[in-house]
Chain A
Amino acid sequence: METSFTPWLSLAGGMMIGASAVLLMATNGRIAGISGLTSRLFARSTDGEARGVSALFVLGLLLAAPIWLLVSGDWPQQWVPSSPMLMAAAGLLVGFGATYGNGCTSGHGVCGISRGSMRSIVATATFMAAAFATVFVTRHVIGG
């Protein structure tokens, strides 16, 4: 399925993501890494306050689309793969991999690269390469 090239909207949305990361660091002193904040909800050792901050950040994420619906009258446009087996495997890999590797697109890709962290630069290059390779295989080798 084709999607249209949206450089300005994507740049604006990216800057909002950056503003969110700076705001969370400025007020709470925490990295806006979604896999870290979300998986902290399941950690054994997390203190209650950290868990509360994580839960509220996640709640904010969950409220964004419903508020978008209320204001604009439409859900944000999307197309989601529907194969249950594929999405189950993808979810498990994303959840396990991002948490095991200490970060995802936000924690490593945005916050880590912004700090100049070598770990995050290597992790981002690695998961980008794996993602490009996966799409190449599913769309051009298997899918044809």
Chain B
Amino acid sequence: MKQIFALLSGLIFGFGLIVSGMSDPAKVLNFLDVFGTWDPSLAFVMGGAIAVTAPGFAWLTRSRSRPFFDSQFRIPSRTDLDPKLITGAVLFGTGWGLGGFCPGPALTALPIMASGTLIFVPFMLAGMWLARHTPDLSTPLSKGATS
């Protein structure tokens, strides 16, 4: 049952990306181009998503001790701001601004097989593989510190 819902969640997520325009890099790049052909639409994607997710998560964790088809809620518990978090976010944001794709939209757009997507996705997967096999060389900083 949980497998069916995982598939269904992915499908709904993909439709959401398509309907919202987030799977179109032209719209993403224009959202990021405040001083040019600015298209503020994607602020509404983030707003709409959080408007549903925030009360949804709060209701789930308050009213239930475990998910419907699994043993526990796997919610990240870390609170420290380590250099890895910041470094990763800077690199990710730079790539997002270059290509107009973040991971979800890139995978959703893959079957459309635009030439840029067909290059982006294998390199994205290679980057994910690299990151999963890169040891964390930095020592975590204390809470509240940034680098």
Contacts and interface: CB of A to CB of B under 8 A. Distances in A.
Interface of A: 1-32, 34-35, 38-39, 42-44, 52-54, 56-68, 75-84, 86-102, 104-106, 108-115, 117-119, 122-124, 126-136, 138-140
Contacts of B67: 25-29
B52 A127 contact: no
Contacts of A113: 50, 54
Contacts of B110: 62, 65
Interface string B25-43: 1110110111111011110
Q: Which 3 A-B pairs have the closest CB atoms?
A: A101-B88, A60-B10, A13-B20
Nearest to A63: B11
Given A29-B74, A68-B18, A101-B85, A81 B109 contact: no
Given A61-B13, A87-B99, A27 B88 contact: no
Contacts of A87: 99, 116-117, 119-120, 123
Interface size, B (range)? 35 or more
B74 to A, nearest CB: 5
A76 B16 CA distance: 12
A76 B17 CA distance: 10
Question: For chain A, what secondary structure do more than half of its interface residues adopt (helix, strand, loop), or is it mixed?
Answer: helix
Contact of B48 (A13, A24, A27, A78): A13
A132 B100 contact: no
Contact of B17 (A17, A66, A133): A17
A25 B57 contact: yes
A139 B80 contact: no
Given A78-B114, A97-B91, A104-B103, A39 B128 contact: yes
- Of B60, B92, B130, the most chain A CB neighbours within 10 A belong to B92
A65 B111 contact: yes
Contacts of A9: 19-21, 41
Contacts of B29: 81, 135
Interface string B101-118: 111101111111011110
Contacts of A14: 16, 20, 44-52
